[in-house]
Chains A and B, each alone.
Chain A
């Protein structure tokens, strides 16, 4: 368990795609993973992230593209010969085998000598702190313990790559936080290259070295947590990264990166996150924590101001999540230290630097192929 036995320099995905009955579940996934990296595939359900993982594991054949490890193709290799470890969403433990035997399974398949199997299984059990439960059946364990067994079972073979398919989604909130730290700790101590699928952006941001955001089978953005958090590539990524306020407006002026947008008397100044031109319909993204209530200590920022009617106040421990409705009937989400009175009218402001202006359509023309561009032009 001290070091990953068989490691690699790079794992490359070239235009990996998978379609089911004519519908593309995953298209043109390009990604290079370096050894030891922790990569999260992030996206809403049905975005193709689990398809991607199953393709890499070999459980689903690719419809097109290639998967290379150190420039050697692995997508043509059977799943059982790829030497990967996988943790499933529902754990997929063997219900008829004890914890020990579950963990030993992969080693036995690799014809590891018995004494070594015993030693490595004991180490793996100690690693996930399940010593007392070694001889129990999975059915006798709690969800969190089962998840630990699944993780131990995947890492005990010292795989070249660990694949995790929403491993924490079946656990309760408290356990999820604990296991998150646990997985991160294991990754740091074992240095195993990990691909982690999740729909929880907080989980992805806190665990991964790099994130891949997917939507409808297409990659939206690849980057570090900081990149994605501060500079989302489009409004979809912004939406996923906690920009809860998405407002559709029209551009009235562009001055460098500062953009003025307005619609029906509602005007805002923001920063262009994508190139936009005057008259274009755009989508403006603001985080609830960047939309603040104007008071004696909080002045209006950059001339951005609007009055809104407080419709709902939720207590979130330290602060309050406030739902407001503007006079044009737009619903906005605001973070506030003080609970405003429901039904009262408050004045809101946002720093233009924190108001991101995106194109309303998601597809970036620069990523389209020649044929797709022509098609888009024809469609107008």
Chain B
């Protein structure tokens, strides 16, 4: 009898609230503080939602030249993207740059972040040196690379003078030039992110593993890595996106029409040289799609990892 009344009480809706409408709305999070979202909303609408939708719309308005060359009616731009090997190859060329760079930046940051987590003399100086390149713009980095590592640069002259090589090595104006530039600008970023994830792991967890008999290799593989994995996933996504959208360095220190003909360059070419807005938009949208696929793959992998608290201040 008593149990039936209890179920009845829970199944029927609770008695009507006597609080004012304003109070009830506030309970659901509707109050004046929502106004604080207005600037962000305006910006998002004006600078992202509208241009983005406009761009998508443009991709379905192919220019007559494209329609004639590739057919496909409304989808002519997309047909052109996939069938024109000059355009489509840029997906592979960009991937070939962005993936290794993102993986390298993340992997190289882990030991550095580990070392800089400890306390030692000169730690601040070292951290500053590691992070400093983030303040240099891409153009400055490219300029520096050209001067330092170009055919007549200090590096090549030094290598020739000490007799290591007889011909200058082509460090720039090719694939490697862009890789160096992306590492210089991406590594501090990856390092900062991983450091903050690492500082979120309570050091006593590692100490516990140590007292329990785990050597550094076991501690890293069985304790630190699983706890750091979500952070590694996020960091790789962000460094990948940064590297994938490479534009200035691909042009300045790369081989813009050859090995570093990245997607953003192709989009710029369609827009700036061919005045084909719709095609440029199509390439940009495809760029986003490729990034989304990679991000989705990383997130799927991440979802299989532990996601909860790591016990630290993080």
Contacts and interface: CB of A to CB of B under 8 A. Distances in A.
Contacts of A157: 212-213
A90 B309 contact: no
Contact of B308 (A105, A139, A153): A139
A207 B213 CA distance: 28
B213 A96 contact: no
B311 A83 contact: no
Given A94-B205, A96-B306, A59 B210 contact: yes
Nearest to B223: A94
Please classify how large the interface on chain B is, using the bins under 10, 10 to 19, 20 to 34, 35 or more. Answer: 20 to 34
Contact of B208 (A82, A83, A88): A88
B207 A96 contact: no
Contacts of B286: none
Contacts of A110: 213
Contacts of A139: 308-309
Nearest to A59: B207
A83 to B, nearest CB: 7
B227 interface: yes
A92 B205 contact: yes
Given A88-B207, A90-B204, A109-B218, A95 B213 contact: no
B215 interface: yes
A153 B204 contact: no
A94 B209 contact: yes
Nearest to B227: A96
A84 interface: yes
Interface in A175-231: none
A352 interface: no
A106 B207 contact: no
Given A80-B214, A90-B202, A90-B311, A95 B306 contact: yes
Nearest to B218: A109
Contacts of A67: none
B213 A109 contact: yes
Given A59-B207, A88-B207, A88-B208, A95 B214 contact: no
Nearest to B222: A105
B6 interface: no
Contacts of B226: 96
Interface in B265-314: 305-306, 308-311
B308 A59 contact: no
Nearest to A89: B204
A105 B211 contact: no
A263 to B, nearest CB: 48
B227 A95 contact: yes
Given A92-B311, A95-B227, A81 B213 contact: yes
Contact of B214 (A82, A86, A105, A163): A105
Contact of B212 (A89, A96, A109): A109
B211 A96 contact: no
A120 B207 CA distance: 23
B212 A106 contact: yes
B213 A106 contact: yes
Given A88-B204, A88-B207, A90-B204, A95 B308 contact: yes
A302 to B, nearest CB: 52
A99 interface: no
A137 interface: yes
B212 A105 contact: yes
B209 A105 contact: yes
Nearest to B201: A95
| Most chain B C-beta atoms within 10 Å of own C-beta, residue among A58, A80, A137 | A80
Q: Which of B211, B215, B218 has the most CB of A within 10 A?
A: B211
A151 to B, nearest CB: 12
Interface string B223-259: 1001100000000000000000000000000000000
A194 to B, nearest CB: 14
A52 interface: no
Interface in A60-87: 79-86
A310 interface: no
A80 B211 contact: yes
Contacts of B311: 90, 92-93, 95
A116 to B, nearest CB: 16
A345 B305 CA distance: 69
Nearest to A84: B211
Contacts of B204: 88-90, 92
Interface in A132-191: 137, 139, 153, 157, 163
A176 to B, nearest CB: 20
A81 B215 CA distance: 9
Given A90-B202, A92-B205, A109 B214 contact: yes
Interface in B24-81: none
Contacts of B207: 57, 59, 79, 86, 88, 92
Nearest to A137: B308
Nearest to B225: A96
Contacts of A82: 211
Contacts of B205: 92-95
B171 to A, nearest CB: 43
Interface string A100-142: 0000011001100000000000000000000000000101000
Given A86-B211, A90-B204, 5 more contacts: A84-B211, A94-B223, A96-B226, A96-B306, A105-B209
Interface of B: 202, 204-205, 207-215, 218, 222-223, 226-227, 305-306, 308-311
Interface of A: 57-59, 79-86, 88-90, 92-96, 105-106, 109-110, 137, 139, 153, 157, 163
6 contacts: A58-B210, A93-B208, A105-B209, A105-B212, A109-B214, A163-B211
